[in-house]
Amino acid sequence: MPRTGQKSLTVSEKVFEEIMQERQKLSTSSKTDVGLNMFLEYLLNLHREWSKKMPRLSKFGLYDDKVGIFDSKKRQIIEVRIVDGELRCPACESDECIHIGFALSLDEVRKLMLAGEIKKPKIATL
């Protein structure tokens, strides 16, 4: 049970291990033990600063049949989905929005397209 004024958070083991590794690296470089709470605050600050300077769209990650794109204007992660070999953006309910265009510019997506796992887009300019 979390203590008063605290909340517990459940993350996957993979995410947990990565967080702990990064925290350990920071503890080693700053020569003080960085608590998990402090580390998460540090990540939040980093994210706030980063999102002010970052371009409109950036790659967040590729997983399963989704392409995660961070949209700094909407301040959210857009999950472009691969449905029947076509890219679909649930945020815009479209297959030809800027998120699709950005997804198509990513090397990983291009490789899937060359492998025939994703159909070539209808938009000729891409």
Can you give the binding site for Zn ion, defined by CB under 5 A? 89, 91-92, 97, 99
Tokens of 111: 């490789």
Q: Shortest distance, CB of residue 6 to Zn ion, whole angstroms?
A: 37
Residue with smaller CB distance to Zn ion, 22 or 59: 59
58: number of Cβ within 10 Å = 14
Q: Shortest distance, CB of residue 112 to Zn ion, whole angstroms?
A: 18
Residue with smaller CB distance to Zn ion, 83 or 114: 83
Rounded distance, CA 61 to CA 65, Å? 11
Q: Shortest distance, CB of residue 101 to Zn ion, whole angstroms?
A: 9
Rounded distance, CA 116 to CA 111, Å? 9
Residue with smaller CB distance to Zn ion, 41 or 108: 108
26's CB contacts (< 8 A; 6+ apart) are 34, 39, 42
- Sheet strand arrangement including 57-63: 57-63, 66-71, 76-83, 86-88
Residue with smaller CB distance to Zn ion, 42 or 60: 60
Q: Shortest distance, CB of residue 19 to Zn ion, whole angstroms?
A: 29
Tokens of 86: 């076509």
